[in-house]
Structure 1
Amino acid sequence: MDKKIKFTVFAIVLIGLLSACSSSNGDKTEGNETKETFTGTIEKITDQNVAIVTIEEGKILKSGREVSVNLSVANDTTFQIGDKIRVGYDGKVRESYPLGINTTFVELIN
């Protein structure tokens, strides 16, 4: 009986550890996991489908006020200058002007 209890406890602990160590998929777009988001307003759109966005809210404000956003991740949406958007990125910020990010999603805010 004592061996059965030890085995049961061991199995429960092992399953718990395996569950805790497994990674979750989260929000993914083209292999990039979304870790952070921010909101802002589109100030300029280039021919390469890249927008310069003035940041209004989000942790990224600690790094700067403008960011370059790849709009092609939302190819089913048409964006215009002045649109307010919500942007997801992988959490990494390239310290340049404007800031650089790996965009995972972009959506219009009404």
Structure 2
Amino acid sequence: MARESQTGSSTAEVAVLLPAVAILLAVVAGAGVVGGQQVRIQQAASAAARELARGTSAAEAIGTAHRLAGEQISISATASGGYGHVRVVSAVDLPLLGPIELHAEANARMEQQP
């Protein structure tokens, strides 16, 4: 009775599974990048809204947001109706999925000036 050889079968299994493992790792790393950037732009929007609420200028609030989230973000800061409103937009370019646009908004009630 002849017995079939199993030599090289584990190499073939690894060769078949390796692309799937690489894609899975890329997706997990991409999710981490997107999550980290979302946290950064939300913190930047909140800090800029607090700056507006304290009565600082929109330019200073935008500078605060840029310091926290980087220069690649797009920011709009307005103060109206007793509230400071800040909207931050950022794009993250992922290798397998392409660019993803992230948004963050924050509002803060204007402080009463004595």
Q: Which bracket does the TM-score occupy, shorter chain normalised? A: 0.3 to 0.5
Q: 1 or 2, which has the higher strand percentage? A: 1
* TM-score normalized with structure 2 length: 0.38
